[in-house]
């Protein structure tokens, strides 16, 4: 069974700030904010939510179908995915633009500040989702605004259950639009900050929202995650990481595991538990796509 993963393919420029953002940003001076961070460590990685999630799902033995757009500079990325056994039939090249770019700065407490240039991602809606016998599952992750809305409608029309994962794209939508996404989706996954924003905008609690879908997952970082089903909450405990090196892509690694479990027909709590294990493994590696999973070790 294949899973269509709608979202971005991006190049991540990852920088490390050795101090704390909280020590550099004065709360009472935000109206004249003018800060500079010295970042002695810098590297460029393959990233983007669709790419990271597809990488995680493929590592677990799943069959990802990323649906995304790249710019004229994206050939290297597409070639790399092919060598990893990831089907790129739904990845399109858009000329005269760059592949999406994320500039991510992480401080010593693993807080992050990100600047994102969407580039070719803004044309992601040009690829349509159609019903197909081998496609049984989907995910809407952060993408171009039009693409997120149209792909959600297309998943529903094709009878393909999907996970709504708005991520950093959540602020683009008002309460009515977000409520419609929830209405169309089978599952919703957000982190704790996004959960508060989503609940505030649609005017529902997590318990109430979970009654409108098959399940809601709220990730809590090092504290594990919450699984909400029909108004009831289950706390899935965290997994201790062997090393904390780089949080970039941990949420996407979790979501790849979530999709893998859903492909297998697991309970949502079991899917989330695998997500916690994969996320704990990923955080010990730099970048979103540089880890290798030992399936026996993470108990798949």
Active site residues: 252
Tell me which residue of 90, 262, 65, 289 sits closest to 162, measured CA to CA. Answer: 262
Q: Please give the angle made by the CA atoms of 11, 254 and 267, to the nearest 5 degrees.
A: 150
For residues 241 and 260, what is the distance between their CA atoms, to the nearest angstrom? 21
Q: How many other C-beta atoms are found inside a 10 Å radius of the C-beta of residue 82?
A: 12
For residues 173 and 219, what is the distance between their CA atoms, to the nearest angstrom? 21
For residues 94 and 116, what is the distance between their CA atoms, to the nearest angstrom? 18
Cα–Cα distances in angstroms (integers) from residue 288 to residues 17, 95, 108, 152, in the given order: 18, 26, 18, 25
Residue 144: HSE in the Cβ half-sphere, 13 Å Cα cutoff: 21
* Residue 151: exposure state from Cβ atoms within 10 A (0-12, 13-18, ≥19): buried
Beta bridge partners of 68: 91
For residues 213 and 182, what is the distance between their CA atoms, to the nearest angstrom? 7
Q: Please give the radius of gyration of the chain, using alpha carbons only, rounded to the nearest integer.
A: 18
Two structure tokens written together for 101: 């770019």
Two structure tokens written together for 201: 């905008």
For residues 201 and 219, what is the distance between their CA atoms, to the nearest angstrom? 19
Instruction: Assess contact for 2 and 135: CB atoms under 8 A.
Output: yes
């Amino acid at each position: 069974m294949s899973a269509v993963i709608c979202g971005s393919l991006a190049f991540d420029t990852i920088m490390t700030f050795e101090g704390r953002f909280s020590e550099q940003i004065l709360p009472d001076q935000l109206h004249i904010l003018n800060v500079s961070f010295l970042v002695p460590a810098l590297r460029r990685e393959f990233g983007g939510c669709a790419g990271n999630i597809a990488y995680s799902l493929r590592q677990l033995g799943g069959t990802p179908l990323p649906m995304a757009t790249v710019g004229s500079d994206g050939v290297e990325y597409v070639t790399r995915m092919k060598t990893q056994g990831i089907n790129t039939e739904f990845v399109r090249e858009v000329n005269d633009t760059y592949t999406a770019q994320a500039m991510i700065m992480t401080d010593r407490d693993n807080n992050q500040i990100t600047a994102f240039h969407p580039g070719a991602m803004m044309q992601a809606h040009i690829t349509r989702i159609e019903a197909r016998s081998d496609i049984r599952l989907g995910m809407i992750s952060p993408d171009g605004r039009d693409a997120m809305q149209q792909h959600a409608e297309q998943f529903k029309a094709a009878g393909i259950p999907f996970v709504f994962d708005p991520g950093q794209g959540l602020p683009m939508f008002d309460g009515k639009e977000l409520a419609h996404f929830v209405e169309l989706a089978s599952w919703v996954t957000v982190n704790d900050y996004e959960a508060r924003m989503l609940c505030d905008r649609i005017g529902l609690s997590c318990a109430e929202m979970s009654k409108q879908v098959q399940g809601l997952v709220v990730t809590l970082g090092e504290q594990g995650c919450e699984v909400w089903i029909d108004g009831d909450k289950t706390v899935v405990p965290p997994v201790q990481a062997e090393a904390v090196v780089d949080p970039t892509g941990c949420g996407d690694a979790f979501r790849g595991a979530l999709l893998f479990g859903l492909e297998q027909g697991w309970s949502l709590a079991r899917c989330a538990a695998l997500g916690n294990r994969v996320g704990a493994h990923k955080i010990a590696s730099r970048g979103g796509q540089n880890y290798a999973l030992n399936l026996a070790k993470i108990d798949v």
